[in-house]
Chain A
Protein backbone atom coordinates (compact mmCIF):
# COMPACT_ATOMS: atom_id res chain seq x y z
CA UNK A 1 0.00 0.00 0.00
CA UNK A 2 1.27 3.42 -0.93
CA UNK A 3 1.38 5.86 1.95
CA UNK A 4 0.76 9.12 0.16
CA UNK A 5 -2.25 11.23 0.95
CA UNK A 6 -3.91 14.19 -0.65
CA UNK A 7 -6.55 16.49 0.78
CA UNK A 8 -9.13 17.51 -0.09
CA UNK A 9 -10.37 14.85 -2.53
CA UNK A 10 -12.89 17.24 -4.06
CA UNK A 11 -13.02 21.04 -3.96
CA UNK A 12 -15.37 23.55 -5.52
CA UNK A 13 -14.23 27.13 -5.12
CA UNK A 14 -15.00 30.57 -6.50
CA UNK A 15 -12.83 32.52 -8.92
CA UNK A 16 -10.15 34.61 -7.26
CA UNK A 17 -9.88 32.52 -4.10
CA UNK A 18 -6.54 31.32 -2.75
CA UNK A 19 -6.32 27.57 -2.19
CA UNK A 20 -3.74 25.09 -0.94
CA UNK A 21 -3.79 21.45 -1.95
CA UNK A 22 -2.12 19.22 0.61
CA UNK A 23 0.11 16.23 -0.08
CA UNK A 24 1.92 14.11 2.50
CA UNK A 25 3.87 10.87 2.26
CA UNK A 26 5.21 8.65 5.02
CA UNK A 27 7.69 6.66 2.93
CA UNK A 28 10.64 9.01 3.40
CA UNK A 29 10.89 9.65 -0.34
CA UNK A 30 13.09 12.52 -1.44
CA UNK A 31 11.47 13.09 -4.84
CA UNK A 32 7.95 14.50 -5.00
CA UNK A 33 5.85 15.71 -7.92
CA UNK A 34 2.64 17.55 -8.74
CA UNK A 35 0.81 16.65 -11.93
CA UNK A 36 -2.27 18.07 -13.59
CA UNK A 37 -4.51 15.73 -15.55
CA UNK A 38 -7.74 16.40 -17.41
CA UNK A 39 -10.11 13.44 -17.99
CA UNK A 40 -8.73 11.04 -20.60
CA UNK A 41 -5.66 13.17 -21.12
CA UNK A 42 -1.97 12.78 -20.31
CA UNK A 43 -0.24 13.80 -17.10
CA UNK A 44 1.42 17.23 -17.12
CA UNK A 45 4.21 17.93 -14.64
CA UNK A 46 3.70 21.28 -12.93
CA UNK A 47 6.21 21.14 -10.05
CA UNK A 48 8.75 18.75 -8.58
CA UNK A 49 11.20 18.55 -5.71
CA UNK A 50 14.38 16.56 -5.11
CA UNK A 51 14.29 17.09 -1.37
CA UNK A 52 13.90 19.64 1.40
CA UNK A 53 14.23 23.25 0.19
CA UNK A 54 14.39 22.08 -3.44
CA UNK A 55 11.56 23.00 -5.83
CA UNK A 56 11.47 23.20 -9.61
CA UNK A 57 8.84 24.12 -12.19
CA UNK A 58 7.70 21.48 -14.64
CA UNK A 59 6.86 21.79 -18.28
CA UNK A 60 3.30 23.04 -17.80
CA UNK A 61 2.98 26.76 -17.27
CA UNK A 62 1.14 27.26 -14.03
CA UNK A 63 0.21 30.08 -11.68
CA UNK A 64 0.79 27.81 -8.71
CA UNK A 65 3.63 27.64 -6.18
CA UNK A 66 4.97 24.84 -4.00
CA UNK A 67 7.14 24.52 -0.91
CA UNK A 68 9.18 21.69 0.60
CA UNK A 69 10.02 22.53 4.17
CA UNK A 70 9.72 18.94 5.38
CA UNK A 71 10.51 15.72 3.52
CA UNK A 72 7.01 14.36 3.96
CA UNK A 73 5.01 17.45 2.97
CA UNK A 74 4.66 19.09 -0.46
CA UNK A 75 1.72 21.52 -0.63
CA UNK A 76 0.58 23.26 -3.81
CA UNK A 77 -0.88 26.78 -3.62
CA UNK A 78 -2.98 28.66 -6.17
CA UNK A 79 -2.91 32.35 -5.25
CA UNK A 80 -5.97 33.24 -7.34
CA UNK A 81 -8.06 30.40 -8.72
CA UNK A 82 -9.53 30.70 -12.24
CA UNK A 83 -11.96 28.45 -14.16
CA UNK A 84 -9.01 27.32 -16.34
CA UNK A 85 -7.54 25.70 -13.20
CA UNK A 86 -10.41 23.21 -13.11
CA UNK A 87 -8.72 19.82 -13.34
CA UNK A 88 -7.47 16.86 -11.35
CA UNK A 89 -4.24 17.41 -9.42
CA UNK A 90 -2.14 14.36 -8.60
CA UNK A 91 0.74 14.27 -6.14
CA UNK A 92 3.39 11.55 -6.38
CA UNK A 93 6.64 10.54 -4.71
CA UNK A 94 9.50 8.21 -5.49
CA UNK A 95 12.60 6.93 -3.72
CA UNK A 96 14.88 7.60 -6.68
CA UNK A 97 15.18 8.06 -10.42
CA UNK A 98 14.94 4.35 -11.27
CA UNK A 99 12.13 3.46 -8.93
CA UNK A 100 8.41 3.72 -9.42
CA UNK A 101 6.35 6.70 -8.39
CA UNK A 102 3.52 6.28 -5.92
CA UNK A 103 0.49 8.49 -6.47
CA UNK A 104 -2.00 10.00 -4.09
CA UNK A 105 -5.71 9.68 -4.82
CA UNK A 106 -5.83 13.14 -6.35
CA UNK A 107 -7.74 16.36 -5.77
CA UNK A 108 -10.49 17.13 -8.22
CA UNK A 109 -10.70 20.92 -8.34
CA UNK A 110 -13.59 22.88 -9.84
CA UNK A 111 -13.34 26.67 -10.04
CA UNK A 112 -16.66 28.40 -10.68
Chain B
Protein backbone atom coordinates (compact mmCIF):
# COMPACT_ATOMS: atom_id res chain seq x y z
CA UNK B 1 0.00 0.00 0.00
CA UNK B 2 0.93 3.64 -0.20
CA UNK B 3 1.91 5.41 2.97
CA UNK B 4 3.13 8.80 4.13
CA UNK B 5 4.31 9.28 7.72
CA UNK B 6 4.67 12.57 9.56
CA UNK B 7 4.79 13.33 13.28
CA UNK B 8 1.34 14.19 14.58
CA UNK B 9 2.37 17.24 16.57
CA UNK B 10 5.46 19.32 17.30
CA UNK B 11 6.12 22.26 19.60
CA UNK B 12 8.74 24.96 19.08
CA UNK B 13 9.64 28.37 20.44
CA UNK B 14 9.21 31.68 18.67
CA UNK B 15 12.44 32.67 16.90
CA UNK B 16 13.79 29.12 16.85
CA UNK B 17 14.21 26.58 14.02
CA UNK B 18 12.09 23.47 13.54
CA UNK B 19 12.39 20.53 11.16
CA UNK B 20 9.29 18.54 10.17
CA UNK B 21 10.05 15.12 8.70
CA UNK B 22 8.10 13.14 6.13
CA UNK B 23 8.79 9.58 5.01
CA UNK B 24 6.92 7.96 2.17
CA UNK B 25 6.34 4.60 0.53
CA UNK B 26 4.50 5.00 -2.75
CA UNK B 27 4.17 3.21 -6.05
CA UNK B 28 6.53 5.42 -7.99
CA UNK B 29 7.49 9.02 -7.35
CA UNK B 30 6.85 12.14 -9.40
CA UNK B 31 7.39 14.86 -6.84
CA UNK B 32 6.74 15.89 -3.26
CA UNK B 33 4.77 18.89 -2.07
CA UNK B 34 4.56 20.69 1.26
CA UNK B 35 1.45 22.67 2.16
CA UNK B 36 0.55 24.82 5.15
CA UNK B 37 -2.95 24.70 6.58
CA UNK B 38 -4.18 27.02 9.32
CA UNK B 39 -7.05 25.72 11.45
CA UNK B 40 -10.35 25.96 9.61
CA UNK B 41 -8.73 27.16 6.39
CA UNK B 42 -7.68 25.62 3.08
CA UNK B 43 -4.14 24.34 2.45
CA UNK B 44 -1.71 26.71 0.74
CA UNK B 45 1.32 25.64 -1.26
CA UNK B 46 4.79 25.99 0.28
CA UNK B 47 7.26 23.99 -1.80
CA UNK B 48 7.82 21.31 -4.43
CA UNK B 49 10.76 18.90 -4.72
CA UNK B 50 11.31 16.43 -7.51
CA UNK B 51 15.11 16.15 -7.47
CA UNK B 52 17.33 15.34 -4.48
CA UNK B 53 18.60 18.26 -2.49
CA UNK B 54 17.54 21.40 -0.72
CA UNK B 55 15.14 24.03 -2.03
CA UNK B 56 15.22 27.31 -0.13
CA UNK B 57 12.44 29.86 -0.15
CA UNK B 58 12.85 32.62 2.40
CA UNK B 59 12.41 31.30 5.94
CA UNK B 60 11.25 27.91 4.61
CA UNK B 61 13.42 25.20 3.05
CA UNK B 62 12.53 21.72 1.88
CA UNK B 63 14.85 18.77 1.41
CA UNK B 64 14.36 15.55 -0.55
CA UNK B 65 16.18 12.21 -0.65
CA UNK B 66 14.46 9.92 -3.15
CA UNK B 67 16.66 6.93 -2.32
CA UNK B 68 15.59 7.14 1.33
CA UNK B 69 11.97 8.08 0.67
CA UNK B 70 12.47 11.05 2.95
CA UNK B 71 11.82 14.77 3.01
CA UNK B 72 11.88 17.50 5.59
CA UNK B 73 10.54 21.02 5.86
CA UNK B 74 12.77 23.44 7.75
CA UNK B 75 11.25 26.58 9.22
CA UNK B 76 13.64 29.26 10.51
CA UNK B 77 13.04 32.33 12.69
CA UNK B 78 9.69 30.96 13.78
CA UNK B 79 6.82 33.39 14.17
CA UNK B 80 3.53 32.91 15.98
CA UNK B 81 1.72 32.95 12.63
CA UNK B 82 3.61 29.76 11.68
CA UNK B 83 1.34 27.83 14.06
CA UNK B 84 -0.49 25.57 11.61
CA UNK B 85 -0.58 22.06 10.22
CA UNK B 86 2.04 21.14 7.62
CA UNK B 87 1.00 18.57 5.05
CA UNK B 88 3.35 16.41 3.02
CA UNK B 89 1.99 15.03 -0.27
CA UNK B 90 3.62 12.77 -2.86
CA UNK B 91 2.70 12.32 -6.53
CA UNK B 92 2.86 8.63 -7.42
CA UNK B 93 3.57 6.90 -10.74
CA UNK B 94 -0.03 7.55 -11.87
CA UNK B 95 0.34 11.23 -10.93
CA UNK B 96 -2.11 10.79 -8.06
CA UNK B 97 -1.45 12.90 -4.98
CA UNK B 98 -1.03 10.87 -1.78
CA UNK B 99 -1.48 13.00 1.34
CA UNK B 100 0.01 12.62 4.79
CA UNK B 101 -2.15 13.31 7.85
CA UNK B 102 -0.19 16.49 8.57
CA UNK B 103 1.96 17.73 11.44
CA UNK B 104 0.40 20.24 13.81
CA UNK B 105 3.05 22.80 14.76
CA UNK B 106 2.53 24.75 17.96
CA UNK B 107 4.65 27.86 18.48
CA UNK B 108 5.17 29.10 22.02
CA UNK B 109 6.36 32.61 22.94
Residues of A bordering B, CB below 8 Å: 33, 40-43, 45, 90, 97-106
Question: How far apart sit A33 and B89, CA to CA, in the bound complex (Å)?
Answer: 14
Q: How many A-B residue pairs have CB under 8 A?
A: 43
Q: A97-B91, A100-B33 are in contact. List 13 more A-B contacts (CB 8 A).
A: A33-B97, A42-B100, A45-B96, A90-B42, A97-B31, A98-B30, A98-B48, A98-B50, A99-B48, A102-B45, A103-B43, A105-B41, A106-B41
Q: Does B99 contact A (CB under 8 A)?
A: yes
Task: Please give, as numbers and ranges, the residues of chain B lying within 8 Å of A41 by CB-CB distance.
Answer: 101
Q: How many residues of B contact A (CB 8 A)?
A: 21
Q: Which residue of A lies closest to B48 (CB)?
A: A100
Q: Which residue of B lies closest to A41 (CB)?
A: B101
B42 & A42 in contact (Cβ 8 Å cutoff): no
Task: Please give, as numbers and ranges, the residues of chain B lying within 8 Å of A99 by CB-CB distance.
Answer: 48
Task: Please give, as numbers and ranges, the residues of chain B lying within 8 Å of A102 by CB-CB distance.
Answer: 45
Q: Closest CB-CB distance, A111 to chain B, in whole Å?
A: 19
Partner among A98, A103, A104 whose Cβ is within 8 Å of the Cβ of B31 = A98
Q: Closest CB-CB distance, A37 to chain B, in whole Å?
A: 9
Task: Please give, as numbers and ranges, the residues of chain A lying within 8 Å of B102 by CB-CB distance.
Answer: 40, 42
Question: How far apart sit A40 and B87, CA to CA, in the bound complex (Å)?
Answer: 11
Question: How far apart sit A103 and B41, CA to CA, in the bound complex (Å)?
Answer: 10
Question: How far apart sit A33 and B43, CA to CA, in the bound complex (Å)?
Answer: 13
Q: Closest CB-CB distance, A14 to chain B, in whole Å?
A: 24
Q: Closest CB-CB distance, A109 to chain B, in whole Å?
A: 14
